[in-house]
Amino acid sequence: MSRKPFLIVETGQPVASMRRHGRFPHWIRSAAGLARDEAFALDVAGGAALPPHDGLAGVIITGSGAMVTERRDWSERSAQWLRGAVQAGTPVFGICYGHQLLAHALGGDVGDNPNGREMGTVAIDLLPEAASDPLFGGLPDSFAVQATHLQSVLRAPEGATVLARSVHDDCHAFRWGDAAWGVQFHPEFGTVHMRGYVQARAEALAKEGRCPRALASDVSAAPHARRVLRRFVRHARASMPRRR
């Protein structure tokens, strides 16, 4: 491998009905445009130890069925490692659970979203600060993303810049410093993944008074979300010559 690899920190697995499509690292590699030899995954939820961050091009943290507020041992160890990686300037990109774990690691607050579950293809609105952001700059003021979560970043870390929100969630994306981002949405989800998650949560959605069939039919493509992930990869690669 001629270039430093990306590390995908695997914090959980897809719902059982979607595992035939592979695990989260495969979905992320595909969406990010990373070849197999450009990234490797470590299953921290399964006990894997994290490596020195100075040998990495960047870090991507997956989603999970776990909750950051459960303070599981592997999650807290990962948060401590992430804090060190971010402070050292390693490019980091957190997705859903990864977004919340990054916020927690940097001193933000995570908890149950008072609006309940957000699920399906939803619109996020960019805040003015996103216009100059390396990942979000130049994107439409509002665009579709795929989302499925119960918890949210309730307070962004001190010094963070909130970049996007939805009607449901006031912190759908944030940046901390020059090289760390968290996004509540799933840029690695295609329509098949999103519909699969809606179907997997059909019973819970029905109990909440929502129609799973309507949510599934409303699922649509979210190409701008994928652009954000691919921009992260390019940004991390471009930043390497300036890092020690």
Q: How far apart are the first and last CA of the chain?
A: 19
Residue 49 is given by DSSP the state P
Q: Is there a contact between 66 and 72 (Cβ–Cβ < 8 Å)? A: yes
The reply to whether 96 belongs to the active site is yes
CB burial of residue 122 (10 Å; 0-12, 13-18, 19+): buried
Active-site residue, 188 included: yes
Tell how far CA 22 is from the center of its chain: 17
Residue 38 bears catalytic tag: no
Which residue in the list 53, 96, 104, 193 is annotated as catalytic? Answer: 96
User: Is residue 96 left, alpha or beta, with left meaning phi > 0 and alpha meaning psi from -120 to 50?
Assistant: left
Q: Which residues of 186-225 are buried (b: 16+ CB within 10 A; e: fewer)?
A: bbbbbeebbbbbbbbbbeebeeeebebeebbeebeebebb
Catalytic residue (one of 38, 188, 193, 235): 188
| Number of helices followed by number of strands (H, E) in the chain | 7, 11
Separation of alpha carbons 93 and 83, rounded Å: 13
Could you tell me the sign of the dihedral formed by the alpha carbons of 148, 194, 138, 136, in that order? positive
Given the residues 53, 149, 168, 186, select the one marked as catalytic.
186
Q: List residues with catalytic annotation.
A: 96, 186, 188
